[in-house]
Amino acid sequence: MNFLVIDCGTSSCRAVVISGCGKIRSQTRLPIRISRPEPLFAEIDTDDLWHQVQQLIATEIEKNPGISFDALGVSAMLGYVFLDKTDTPLMPAIIYSDSRAVAECEEIREQIPDKVFYATTGRRISPFLLAPKIRWMAKYRPEIFNRIETIVGLKDDIVRRLTGQIQTDTAHLDYSGMYNVHQARLDPALLDALKIGTHLFPSVNLPTRIAGTLTTDAGKKLKLPPGTPVVTGSTDGTTAMYGAGVLEEGNAVLVSGTTDVLMLGADRAIDDDTGTLNLNTGILPGTFLVGGPMGSSGGTLNRFEKMLGSSVNQLAGKITALPAGADGLLFFPGLTGERSPYWKAYLTGGVAGLTATHRKEHLLLAIMEGCAYRLVRLLEILTQNGLSPRTLTVVGGGAGNDIWNQIRADVTGRKVLKPAVTEATSLGTALFCNAALDTRRTLKEITASWQADSTRCLPRKNRTAAYRKLAQLFTAYIENNETLYKRLVSLSRHPGGNEEWNDR
């Protein structure tokens, strides 16, 4: 078998040809064009994205003459498309990082206490959720809001153009802010309080089910046989978790990109009293994904590499020669605010312990260490809730930094694995395709058969002991400087803006 998958992430959209045993044959990518027409806005023109998808598929067909595809799969960043009665998008899609609905979040909090919202949805109220975005639309774009017939995900809109079918998956509902993750349904009480009707949402399908088949019109445009199965798929973050082995017992997956997201599988719902952990619906019946999205990580490292004119790779020898803690330097990398495990949107970046003796390599090491300290606290909270992964599998763009992977192992005291294939979203999409066609095997069985050898980083005990103390200082600094950061935000020209948050 061969699968043609579309993976539209935050930075690029790619088409990938993957074999029936999980091997990448070829891939093509184009940069994603995100529009920011106003401060805090983040939108994508769905017609433009569809044109890119057509270009990418055409290129992959040229690269693979004579290959037939058993199924097409799609994943995309979390985003929402508003369709009218003719199933035509009314406006550009609003993606996850759009923060226009900050005020609407506060309005929702006045109606629904944070604890009630969290207990129902398994997450905190946030501008990146759909509910406050809908509220914003009703208030500021009533001419569009009143014409909305259906709301689908960005991935769902691509599937619609391929098959003519309109549906969604549970991951998009998880991030709607209206979904009862415990009862696996849109919550009537939340919908009633928010004055949002269930008619706006299409039917729900599992990511591993066939959404429909390629229409004659789409087949002509793409030069693919009409009738080719198209699989439902999911958001890119959720898909990456499964592509990286989140179903493997005792293994947590860290998707490392502009931001980091850590998740692991659970066979029960977690009742986290601290409200730190996110609870997502699992693909397998009765299962969940538990963890949290963190603040800027790779985004911060990349920014400072550019500012310093030096990269981790260029300074690798000097960085690895430094002691744990970068000679007394702590770097707080949340340039766009802190999410899990601290949930302090106002708490931006900072440096403590900086002296005249610190150099470029110290700063870059301290940034990577700072990102890893978040993991320590998040893993502590998971352990308190009866979940303590033995291994961390790292995928995404940040997985290619082996120095950082060793730091993660040393800081957390856990074995860190880097799969041979780190394009976990593309791989996960192909897994869903395989599961949709191969009904004899479970998704877990297919995943196990696809797992390739991994590069392993083992924790070094002496450095882990030092990092344990440094992680405590890191958390203490965050907890004890709230007033300082709140006052700084009040004086900033860009209060509360967050263009890089990613909780897919």
Per-residue pLDDT at 274: 87
- Cβ contacts of 117 within 8 Å, gap of 6 or more: 108, 109, 124, 125, 177, 190
Q: Which residues of 51-66 are buried (b: 16+ CB within 10 A; e: fewer)?
A: ebbbebbbbbbeeeee
Does domain 244-489 match CATH 3.30.70.100? no
- Report, as an integer, the average pLDDT of 285-311: 94
d(CA 461, CA 450): 32
Give the CA-trace dihedral at 332, 34, 395, 344, to 10 degrees.
30
Orientation of helix 360-384 relative to helix 402-412, angle to 10°: 50
Mean pLDDT lowest for which of 60-64, 103-107, 343-347, 378-382? 343-347
Per-residue pLDDT at 450: 86
Mean pLDDT lowest for which of 170-174, 212-216, 442-446? 442-446
- Cβ contacts of 188 within 8 Å, gap of 6 or more: none
Give the CA-trace dihedral at 356, 359, 365, 369, to 10 degrees.
10
Per-residue pLDDT at 27: 96
Per-residue pLDDT at 491: 80
Q: Are 124 and 117 in contact (CB under 8 A)?
A: yes
Per-residue pLDDT at 502: 37
Per-residue pLDDT at 494: 52
Number of H helices, E strands in the chain: 18, 21
Q: Strand, coil or helix: what is 332? A: strand
CB-CB neighbours of 162 under 10 Å: 27
Q: What is the fold of 2-238? A: Nucleotidyltransferase; domain 5 (3.30.420)
d(CA 57, CA 55): 6
- Report, as an integer, the average pLDDT of 76-83: 96
At 288, which helix (H) or strand (E)? strand 288-296
Which residue type sits at 67? I
Tell me if the bond preceding 459 is cis, omega within 30° of 0: no
Per-residue pLDDT at 422: 84
Cα dist from 6 to 24, 159, 167, 253, 446, whole Å: 13, 10, 17, 22, 20
- Report, as an integer, the average pLDDT of 118-139: 95
Per-residue pLDDT at 493: 54
Asked if pLDDT for residue 25 goes beyond 60, the answer is yes
DSSP state of 397: G
Per-residue pLDDT at 405: 97
Confidence of residue 500 (pLDDT cuts 50, 70, 90): very low
Q: Strand, coil or helix: what is 344? A: strand
d(CA 468, CA 473): 9
Q: Are 253 and 395 in contact (CB under 8 A)?
A: yes
Confidence of residue 141 (pLDDT cuts 50, 70, 90): very high
The pLDDT mean for the chain works out to 93
d(CA 19, CA 449): 13
Sheet (strand 251-256) strand order: 278-281, 288-296, 259-266, 251-256, 391-395, 415-419, 454-457
- Give all strands (DSSP E) within 150-287, no chain letters: 150-153, 179-180, 185-186, 210-213, 229-235, 251-256, 259-266, 278-281
Q: Which two tokens stand for residue 104?
A: 């609407």
Confidence of residue 462 (pLDDT cuts 50, 70, 90): very high
Maximal CA-CA distance, the chain = 67
Per-residue pLDDT at 30: 96
DSSP state of 168: B
Q: Are 95 and 44 in contact (CB under 8 A)?
A: yes
Mean pLDDT lowest for which of 97-101, 108-112, 277-281, 299-303? 97-101
Q: Give pLDDT tens digits for 251-260.
A: 999 999 888 9
Confidence of residue 497 (pLDDT cuts 50, 70, 90): very low
- Report, as an integer, the average pLDDT of 135-153: 97
Cα dist from 7 to 13, 137, 235, 259, whole Å: 6, 28, 9, 18
Per-residue pLDDT at 448: 86
Q: Which residues of 165-192 are buried (b: 16+ CB within 10 A; e: fewer)?
A: bbbbbbbbbbbbbbbbbbeeebbeebbe
Q: Give pLDDT tens digits for 87-116.
A: 999 999 999 889 899 899 999 999 999 999
Give the start-to-end residue ranges of the domains of the chain: 2-238, 244-489
Asked if pLDDT for residue 369 goes beyond 60, the answer is yes
Q: Give pLDDT tens digits for 168-207.
A: 999 999 999 999 999 999 999 999 999 999 999 999 999 9
